[in-house]
Amino acid sequence: MRCLAVCQDELVIRMLDEILLPGYEVEFIVESRAVARRLHDAGVNVVAGDPRRTDTYLKADLSPGTCVIVEDNGRRSLKKILEAVRDAGGALVYVLGVGPAAAKHAEESHTEFPDVAYLAMSELFGGPLLTEFSRSLTRARVQQYQRYFSDADRVLIVLHNDPDPDAMASGLALRNVLRRTKATAIIGAFQGVTRPENLRMVNLLDIHVEPITEASLKEYDRIAMVDVQPHYFGGLIDRVDLVIDHHPEQPGYSVVFKDIRADYGSTSTILTEHLRAVDVSISERAATAMLYAIKSDTLFFNRQTNRVDLEAFSYLYPLADAALIRKMEGAEITLDRLDYVMKAHRGGTLVEQVFCAFLGPSPREDFIPYVADFFLQLEDVKWTAIAGIVDDSMLISVRNLGYSKNAGEFVRRFFSDIGCAGGHRAMAKAVVPMREFREKFGDLDAAGITALLHDFMTQFLHDVGAAEKKPETAGVKN
């Protein structure tokens, strides 16, 4: 393809020449004869001419298929140049903005020349440059903790209770960063994996999550924590060597190294950056686990997703086993989950696009969020609030389609005074001890609890003056 570039700065010309050759046949038009001569001697294909005159472009054989790049350094009359290009029949026109006025010029040129694309040089180079800089910052950070962990005999990587894919993948990834094996870096949790889809991941990727206790912590020289922070364990561990997490930072613990990025969609995204920063090769197993984790923590980019999550995803994709991920995802439907869906169907009610139900006692916690997710798929349902009793606590899972009010705000408003409540905009959870629940709301039957949820939901959704933006609460896993 032929490309005509109207530039005045030598640096810009040399750079474009290097970028566009050999893919494009490039010719430069410059105003100054002296600059033209110098560049010509340096081997650049250049002519001297007045860029504000139409015949300059006719002489240069401009056709509608020629790509025209016009440098805007703020000094020359851009408007005149663009008019001359247009009069000569130029149709594929790009303006390359150099300097601080670029944003203002971009707007002006768009009003007068809507077909001209305006590219600001700082935007073109800013992204890669900033990525490089932040990567070197990450590199320094990672090298520090790598050294700190290097002389330890046994390292423990602690995950939150009932570990999810992001927790397990982050554990594998950190083991990779620390260049350790499963014998020297143990991935552990106080309460093991129970959800069927997570168990499938454990089996398919052969991940071993070691059960740990308060006493067994002493057997390790260094303790790291991923996808969770020490406050979650309520004083069980108040000092750790490393925390890597994407939940909002919490106070009240001491840590030697930490990397907490609350704007990231998953901890696996942070660890992808750690692995890339220090050039550690990522095993297929770790890549598969991390890819699956990013997919599931961001609900396949439906929730709290950052550009870096997409970037990590596309980096990991070729390294991972996509067929295995499909297998891990499965249908997530099991017979006992269907039992609870049916229970909710029988006892629940749908009012004004809000579905509420009480499931009664449940042997496992995951039935409740599962039912909340399930009914959100229904046509005409925009919110779900599902309650159930697990271990003498009332558990309430709340979901919405994500573009209305904040689910975390809902559970905090009605339940934080008597229990633990928090979550994100689209998913939240409250856990209230039954004694507290009865004290406040009385001894309700199933229909009474469902009605109570509807009542709160109506109050909440009709309250237009409610504060919308509240920080997310970490430590409550949905």
Task: Report the interface residues with Mn ion, using CB under 5 A.
Answer: 166, 227, 266-267, 297
Instruction: Give start and end residues of each alpha helix (H) in 151-210.
Output: 165-177, 196-205
Provide φ and ψ at 9, rounded to 5°.
-90, 130
| 106 vs 167, beta carbon nearer Mn ion | 167
> CB of 266: closest distance to Mn ion in angstroms?
5
CB nearer to Mn ion: give 120 or 474. Answer: 474
Residue 143 CB, shortest distance to Mn ion, in Å, is: 25
**What single-letter DSSP state applies at residue 472?**
P
Distance of CA 301 to the CA centre of its chain: 7
Nearer to Mn ion, 71 or 227 (CB): 227
The answer to whether the beta carbons of residues 43 and 28 sit under 8 Å apart is: no
Distance of closest approach, residue 265 Cβ to Mn ion, in angstroms: 8
| Amino acid symbol at 428 | A
The residue (of 343 and 429) whose beta carbon lies closer to Mn ion is: 429
CA gap 47, 55 in Å, rounded: 13
Query: Among all residues, whose Cβ is closest to Mn ion?
Result: 166
3 or 271, CB closer to Mn ion? 271
Contacts of residues 405-411 at CB distance under 8 Å and 24 or more positions apart, as own/partner, are: 405/460, 405/461, 405/466, 405/468, 406/468, 406/469, 406/470, 407/383, 408/470, 408/472, 408/473, 409/460, 409/466, 409/467, 409/468, 409/470, 410/385, 410/456, 410/457, 410/460
- Shortest distance in whole angstroms from residue 312 CB to Mn ion: 13
Q: Which helix (H) or strand (E) holds 72?
A: strand 67-72
CB-nearer residue toward Mn ion: 246 or 337: 246
User: Which residue type sits at 363?
Assistant: P
Residue 309 CB, shortest distance to Mn ion, in Å, is 11
> Is 162 or 166 the residue whose CB approaches Mn ion more closely?
166
Q: Please report how close the Cβ of residue 116 comes to Mn ion at its closest, in angstroms.
A: 44
Are residues 398 and 385 in contact, defined by beta-carbon separation less than 8 angstroms? yes
Rounded to the nearest whole angstrom, what is the least distance from the CB of residue 477 to Mn ion in the complex?
Answer: 9
